[in-house]
């Protein structure tokens, strides 16, 4: 299992543990003898999730030493670390107040494993422990990729990309909405072929083909707006009008149609709400020199 998959699974396990600890606390506060068994079961399950989280983080630390190019996955790593930390903080607050030493011990183990893998990740990225987010924006190497991804980072803009429409719709891709980990841009050229008798076919450039941009990433609903952001993107796509894309570093990519929104929900809660959403957006180039009739 690779580094990225391990840390995202760790974030999912921590989110499940948070829900179970919260349920355990609510049942415990009822102070009924009949609830003791339920509390014990929830405590065992939550402790198991936390143990799995710590094991996955430890394994991710080992995988990091042999990982290849992780640059496209920096956003995933940062969000996963933040999601785990948020979950552990919530669990420790509940466990300390309710006097559940087993849960607290398991959460402390996650904190230790998280600190270790984060230290290794920072070393890989060339980030000093005392480095401020502002200075990361001007750093070199992999550390520069973290500009705009860390909380409080400063720079020309804190967004990975901004989507705007003529109607005034605006969507910022960043950690507080739906940050993407991967951008794929495809440009095609139309070349026609002509069959020729006893000779190789002849090729002729006919026109410039279309372009597509595909953005993909992961949203952890427990530590952010979650599904509402995907729905906001669908609402923009429903209007069937071109939008302008501008990168966080200031490059205007031009006008595009949002052609598709693909969403996969995982680790569902008891009411069906997802803890984790994997999404993919496809944009097609609109063309600057013709009207949408």
Q: What is the mean pLDDT of each run of 10 residues along the chain (293 residues)?
A: 81 83 78 73 89 92 72 70 85 80 91 91 68 40 39 48 82 83 90 89 86 90 70 91 84 88 87 86 79 49
pLDDT of residue 129: 56
Domain ranges of the chain: 3-146, 161-285
Residues 6+ apart with CB under 8 A from 263: 230, 277, 278, 279, 280
pLDDT digits (tens, 9 = 90+) for 175-216: 778 888 889 999 988 889 989 888 889 998 888 788 999 999
CATH code linked to domain 161-285: 2.40.30.200
* Residue corresponding to tokens 């939008």: 243
Give the Cβ contact number of residue 106 at 10 Å: 25
**SS3 of 191-203:** EEEEEECCEEEEE
pTM: 0.58
Q: Long-range contact list for 146-155, CB < 8 A, 24+ apart?
A: 146/74, 146/78, 148/174, 148/248, 149/74, 149/75, 149/78, 149/175, 149/179, 150/78, 151/82, 151/175, 155/248
Q: Name the residue with tokens 């893998």.
A: 117
């Amino acid at each position: 299992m690779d580094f990225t998959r391990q840390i995202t699974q760790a974030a999912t396990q921590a989110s499940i543990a948070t829900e179970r600890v919260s349920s355990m606390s609510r049942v415990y506060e009822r102070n009924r003898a009949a609830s003791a068994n339920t509390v014990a079961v929830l405590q065992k399950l939550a402790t198991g999730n936390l143990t799995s989280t710590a094991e996955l983080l430890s394994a991710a630390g080992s995988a990091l030493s042999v990982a290849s190019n992780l640059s496209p996955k920096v956003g995933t790593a940062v969000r996963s670390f933040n999601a785990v930390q948020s979950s552990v903080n919530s669990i420790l607050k509940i466990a300390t107040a309710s006097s559940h030493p087993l849960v607290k011990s398991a959460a402390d183990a996650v904190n230790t494993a998280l600190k270790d893998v984060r230290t290794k990740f920072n070393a890989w990225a060339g980030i000093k422990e005392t480095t401020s987010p502002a200075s990361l924006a001007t750093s070199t190497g992999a550390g520069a990729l973290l500009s705009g991804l860390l909380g409080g980072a400063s720079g020309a803009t804190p967004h990975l990309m901004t989507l705007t429409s003529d109607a005034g719709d605006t969507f910022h891709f960043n950690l507080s909405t739906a940050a993407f980990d991967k951008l794929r841009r495809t440009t095609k050229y139309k070349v026609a072929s002509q069959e020729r008798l006893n000779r190789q076919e002849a090729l002729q450039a006919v026109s410039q083909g279309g372009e597509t941009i595909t953005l993909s990433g992961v949203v952890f609903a427990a530590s952010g707006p979650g599904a509402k952001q995907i729905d906001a993107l669908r609402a923009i796509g429903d209007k069937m009008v071109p939008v302008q894309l501008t990168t966080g570093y200031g490059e205007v990519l031009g006008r595009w149609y949002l052609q598709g929104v693909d969403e996969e929900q995982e680790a569902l809660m008891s009411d069906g709400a997802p803890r984790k959403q994997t999404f993919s957006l496809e944009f097609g180039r609109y063309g600057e020199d013709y009207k949408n009739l």
